[in-house]
Structure 1
Amino acid sequence: MSATSVLIQLFGTIALLLWGMRMVRTGVQRSFGSKLRSFLGEWLSNRFAAFGAGLGVTAILQSSTATCLMVADFASRNIVVLPVALAIMLGADVGTALVAQILSLNFSWLSPVLIFVGFLIFTITTSQKKSNIGRIAIGLGIILLSLKSIVGVSEPLRNSETLVLVINALAGEPLVAVLLVALLTWAAHSSLAIVLLVCSMASTGAIPVELGMVLILGANLGGALPPVFATLYTSPAGRRVAIGNGVFKLLGCILIFPFLSIVERELTPYSIGVAGLLINLHLVFNVGLAVIFMPFTSLMDRLLKKVIMDQDIGDSPEVVRYLDMSIPIDATLGLSNASREVLRMGDELDHMLKQSFNMLHEGDSEEIKEISKGDDVVDELYEAVKVYLTEIRKEELDEQESQRCGEVMAFCANLEHIGDIIDKNLLATAIKLIEKNLSFSEAGLNELEQIHQRVHDNLRLAMGVFMSQDIGMARRLILEKETFRQMENEAANSHMERFQAGRPETLETSSLHLDVIRDLKRINSHLTSVAYPILDQAGELRKTRLRKKIMKMA
């Protein structure tokens, strides 16, 4: 077999390994994600309990990155303090090492059984939860199959002259080897997969034990990188969790690196073969991190608060707070994060609407600047949510998640349109009033105030409908559309009466008055749109508002 064929097969089996782990992680998150998150949240009383919780959750999820993103979210919302969060991550690292120990055992005979049983469960059952359990079984079977294949495919590499040259070069440059594998682990987003890959290749003699130990350290260091990049745009508290975990990993690598030969000598009697030695090193390294750094989590908290201060992000409203700007932990959590960011858009619009009436009433140029700034915030949040939801759609969404994703995107777009109406239309009206030194009549201003307040109330009602998905609230919001139409007609009729009576203020501001009513109507229409999908799903909407023809056309 040519070297090219061997490499193609090796890359294929590595991809199969990564895909199997992805299937397991996705299945676990969809079936038990909320429960695992709740379990993790309940064990935050002290560092030792948190350590155990992090170990258990990560052992089930098979991803310390997923655990880190959960914990970073907790820290961002002040649910957990940093010392406890770092203790969770130390436990999470031990959890992945224990999973590696289990998967390194020779369970390849289970692979066809797991794949077959998982396939039956996945295809026969109609339950979403059972279907995901089938997904987990298939994923585990694929992992075991890929590990067996890696051993078989990498065996011919022992005789490859090119590989010997590469390995000798890496063995002579251990720092380069660590950095190279760290980058590979970051790209794969799975330190567990890289550790198992290194151990499988080492078991065939393709990688010598000394280099294998260096690569294990590189995989551990690289495993801390994905959470760091995933939390770059979150709050300082969230970033501290990922960076603190990365610092622990880096310090651990520095501390153990000079003593690898001693570690090899001490672990050899307790290990079965080279692969066993490397997998034991992985476990000892992470347990050692926990033992050494658990007492220093509070010190790390103080240091990171000095380096990553809250003022780095500040209270600027345009900064995205709840989006990781990466593929989320799971679809459910990702949609929840997007919804929280949409609520922030609603809060900003609530403030803009309040300012818009003051602006029409008093003509304050400072408030005009504030409204323009608020629209920039809404636009930025809209773009961030749109990109985030696009990433979520790349995941395998079930019907309910796909529908919710569409609803969040649609409502987000409607809020962005509302911001544009306030900024480009109501703001333009206010500028005309200021430049021409005009003002609405007292009666006209009262009418606009009533309509404006109705829209303001409907904004808050629409946000409640968006979050609760309550059918009763959705029905009430739709009924508000008819109420608004009546108010609009009454205001227009009153305005025409004043216009015909020849009142000066009315004559001067007639077109502006009608423009404001029209703009508020458009805003209200965008708000009520959030209720239609809910009522449609509940079967409470007619297909058409047209009356049926009584007589046939001749």
Structure 2
Amino acid sequence: MITLLHLMSALALLVWGTHIVRTDVLRVYGAQLRRILSTSITRRSMAFTAGVGVTSLVQSSNATAVIVCSFVAQGLVGLTPALAIMLGADVGTALMTGVLSFDLSWLSPLLIFSGVVVYLSRRHTSIGRLARAVIGLGLILLALEMISAATRPMMAAAGIKVLFSSLTGDIMLDALIGALFAMLTYSSLAAVLLAATLATSGVISLKVALCLVIGANLGSGIMALISAASQNVAGRRVALGSMLFRLSGAVIALPLINFLEVWIAYLTTDLRFGVVAFHVIYNTVRCSLLLMLVEPMSRLCVRLLPDRELDDDGVHARHLDPAAIDTPTLALANASREVLRIGDIIEKMLNSLLLVIRENDTIRATQIRKLDDDVDKLYTELKMYLARVSREELNAKEVRRWTDIITLTINLEQAGDIIVRIVKGVESKKIAPQRTFSAAGMQEVCEMHARLVTSLQLGLSVFLEGDLRSAQKLLAEKESFRDLERAYAKTHLVRLAGQTQQSIETSSLHLDLISDMKRMHSLFCSTAYSVLDEAGMLRRSRMDPGSSAAEVMLDERSGDYSHPP
């Protein structure tokens, strides 16, 4: 029981080590690796080589599959070069398995020690993340040594031998076990190395180990299919084509397994080397031959997964690439692009709002409600996307950007709700009873609306570029707009005192409207605070130390930023 527990813990350590290496390499070099994959598509050989190189670094063909599927789903890469990249990824992970199969146990303590020292001192930097990847590599080597040590006592345990012999009755069952293990560990590398270690220890035969290797390749392909399930049809075709390539290799290799066993046993007596060498040769030969068939496979995948007409059920996020989650810089850039898209929808709602107010356009009112549904959908998708970006792994600048994105997203969603509320008020208090604003009142609303749209555009520009002068201008505009709202409220009361009939009939709607516009304007101007705070131009109130920077006001005469007395 203790021996089995040691083996399971060693396997867990192996999986964890590969996860750390994959995650941190993507976080540091994710942008560069993605750029290599997206640009190396002019020739099949270049795409194949890019797949080999990138997968060798991240030590996971599944990670490469997720990236490539997302590229194809967004239309950045064609299906044919994507399949060539995936074939290269299979070779890349096989090569890394070959490297790790050597006896590098002496290197494990050095990697772990040096990695921990650097990581603790440079935790939130790129160097610290690379040090964590070095720790992961050391854990992989340590886990392999532990697996080897844990399997030695199994030789003396008759029950273990009986268990393995009962589970390996035929080649199909062996391949299935290999596929299941690769799926459970999310790593074909771990499955292959375990098969090699068990074969060396005599727990399983060479034939069983070879079947486990072929099954591990199939399991990796199944995991790619599962990961691509959330992509559109174009993205799923990549995973399907890769799986069909793997399946075709298994169909050819499994019937020849007895011959391959004899051949490998004849060439070497080192079963560990033989199993790993078979994995490398199998994938290299298979992928090199299948590289010539990527175009026919592309056509087959298109036939098996044809394009479908999209249902008109509103917008969907365009830039929230799930493959970029492990690369915070890219993930935040994607989220920034999506929140700017939400801002464009809010601007469209504002432009339609003026027509509803001025011309009683009920068609525009319906369109505004539809656009608000789109905003709510994008808001939810963006919020969930940002929640998947681990803030613990972000540096100070990235945390600030993460906060800015989620804050602007919330503010824009609230602005959309305010616009819908204004539309409801106009419909019930102006359109239904067939009332109109006075000429002066309508002019005030149009002026506030124009300044509101301008501030929204400026606020989005400040969010995108972080320009200090624009942030100062935006905050000054906030104070000017607040003064304008107060002035127009007073002039409205003057019209009421003058017994202006139109003003009397629409008084409640008019005051609510300019008040809601002021609130929306404050939401649009909130992007200025982060820029000013970073420049050191904000200070908190002495009377209220817990108040937020979002309550800070601009004194235009002194240029000082402080809370109102």
For normalisation by structure 2, the TM-score amounts to 0.88
- From the superposition, tell whether residues 119 and 218 of structure 1 become closer, same or farther in structure 2 (CA, over 3 Å): same
Shift of 1:237: 2.8
Which aligned pairs between 1:81-480 and structure 2 lie closer than 5 A?
Answer: 81-125=78-122, 128-271=125-268, 273-311=270-308, 313=310, 316-323=313-320, 328-393=325-390, 396-480=393-477
Contact in 2 for aligned 1:230/1:326 (Cα 8 Å): no
Alignment of 1:23 onto 2:20? yes
Task: State the distance in 2 between where 1:326 and 1:64 align.
Answer: 13
Task: State the distance in 2 between where 1:162 and 1:460 align.
Answer: 73
Shift of 1:197: 2.3
Which aligned pairs between 1:70-81 and structure 2 lie closer than 5 A?
Answer: 70-81=67-78
Contact in 1 for aligned 2:66/2:323 (Cα 8 Å): no
Residue 233 of structure 1 aligns to which amino acid in structure 2?
S
Shift of 1:315: 6.8
- From the superposition, tell whether residues 330 and 367 of structure 1 become closer, same or farther in structure 2 (CA, over 3 Å): same
Equivalent residue, structure 2, for 1:551: none
Which of 487, 505, 515 lines up with 2:502 in the alignment?
A: 505
Contact in 2 for aligned 1:326/1:391 (Cα 8 Å): no
Q: Determine helix, strand or coil for the equivalent of 1:79.
A: coil
Contact in 2 for aligned 1:264/1:277 (Cα 8 Å): no
Shift of 1:141: 1.2
Which aligned pairs between 1:487-506 and structure 2 lie closer than 5 A?
Answer: 487-506=484-503
Residue 143 of structure 1 aligns to which amino acid in structure 2?
I
Q: Determine helix, strand or coil for the equivalent of 1:232.
A: helix
Q: Decide which moves more: 306-315 or 89-98.
A: 306-315
| Cα offsets for 1:402-449 (capped at 9, x unmatched) | 333233222222222122222234334334422222232333223222
How many residue pairs end up in the alignment?
545
- From the superposition, tell whether residues 229 and 373 of structure 1 become closer, same or farther in structure 2 (CA, over 3 Å): farther
Task: State the distance in 2 between where 1:173 and 1:522 align.
Answer: 71
| Cα offsets for 1:60-102 (capped at 9, x unmatched) | 1212222223223332333221111111111111111111100
Contact in 1 for aligned 2:195/2:212 (Cα 8 Å): yes
- From the superposition, tell whether residues 145 and 302 of structure 1 become closer, same or farther in structure 2 (CA, over 3 Å): same
Task: State the distance in 2 between where 1:257 and 1:168 align.
Answer: 19
Q: Determine helix, strand or coil for the equivalent of 2:211.
A: helix
For normalisation by structure 1, the TM-score amounts to 0.90
Task: State the distance in 1 between where 2:310 and 2:204 align.
Answer: 45
Shift of 1:312: 5.2
Shift of 1:55: 0.9
After superposing on structure 2, the runs of 4+ consecutive aligned residues of structure 1 that deviate more than 6 Å are none
Task: State the distance in 2 between where 1:312 and 1:157 align.
Answer: 57
Alignment of 1:531 onto 2:535? no
Contact in 2 for aligned 1:170/1:177 (Cα 8 Å): yes
Alignment of 1:57 onto 2:54? yes
Contact in 2 for aligned 1:93/1:286 (Cα 8 Å): yes
Task: State the distance in 1 between where 2:326 and 2:222 align.
Answer: 15
Shift of 1:6: 1.8
Shift of 1:515: 1.3
Q: Decide which moves more: 74-83 or 261-270.
A: 261-270
Q: Determine helix, strand or coil for the equivalent of 1:452.
A: helix
Shift of 1:177: 4.2
Task: State the distance in 1 between where 2:43 and 2:505 align.
Answer: 69
Equivalent residue, structure 2, for 1:33: 30
Residue 168 of structure 2 aligns to which amino acid in structure 1?
A
Task: State the distance in 1 between where 2:450 and 2:303 align.
Answer: 46
Task: State the distance in 2 between where 1:504 and 1:440 align.
Answer: 9
Task: State the distance in 2 between where 1:471 and 1:221 align.
Answer: 54
Shift of 1:258: 1.8
Residue 53 of structure 2 aligns to which amino acid in structure 1?
G
- From the superposition, tell whether residues 417 and 254 of structure 1 become closer, same or farther in structure 2 (CA, over 3 Å): farther
Q: Decide which moves more: 106-115 or 117-126.
A: 117-126
- From the superposition, tell whether residues 517 and 139 of structure 1 become closer, same or farther in structure 2 (CA, over 3 Å): same
Shift of 1:103: 0.5
Shift of 1:152: 0.6
Shift of 1:324: 5.2
- From the superposition, tell whether residues 132 and 361 of structure 1 become closer, same or farther in structure 2 (CA, over 3 Å): same
Residue 86 of structure 1 aligns to which amino acid in structure 2?
L
Task: State the distance in 1 between where 2:223 and 2:333 align.
Answer: 21
Shift of 1:174: 4.0
Residue 539 of structure 2 aligns to which amino acid in structure 1?
R
| Cα offsets for 1:10-62 (capped at 9, x unmatched) | 22111211222222223322332222223333322221111111111111121
Q: Decide which moves more: 143-152 or 373-382.
A: 373-382
Q: Decide which moves more: 426-435 or 312-321.
A: 312-321
- From the superposition, tell whether residues 148 and 409 of structure 1 become closer, same or farther in structure 2 (CA, over 3 Å): same
Q: Decide which moves more: 510-519 or 375-384.
A: 375-384
Q: Decide which moves more: 208-217 or 84-93.
A: 208-217
Q: Determine helix, strand or coil for the equivalent of 1:118.
A: helix
| Cα offsets for 1:138-187 (capped at 9, x unmatched) | 22111111100011112223344443344233312543443444344234
- From the superposition, tell whether residues 81 and 149 of structure 1 become closer, same or farther in structure 2 (CA, over 3 Å): same
Task: State the distance in 2 between where 1:460 and 1:256 align.
Answer: 61
Contact in 2 for aligned 1:62/1:99 (Cα 8 Å): yes
- From the superposition, tell whether residues 219 and 135 of structure 1 become closer, same or farther in structure 2 (CA, over 3 Å): same
Task: State the distance in 2 between where 1:121 and 1:38 align.
Answer: 28
Gaps of 5+ in 1: 549-554
- From the superposition, tell whether residues 420 and 173 of structure 1 become closer, same or farther in structure 2 (CA, over 3 Å): farther
Equivalent residue, structure 2, for 1:552: none
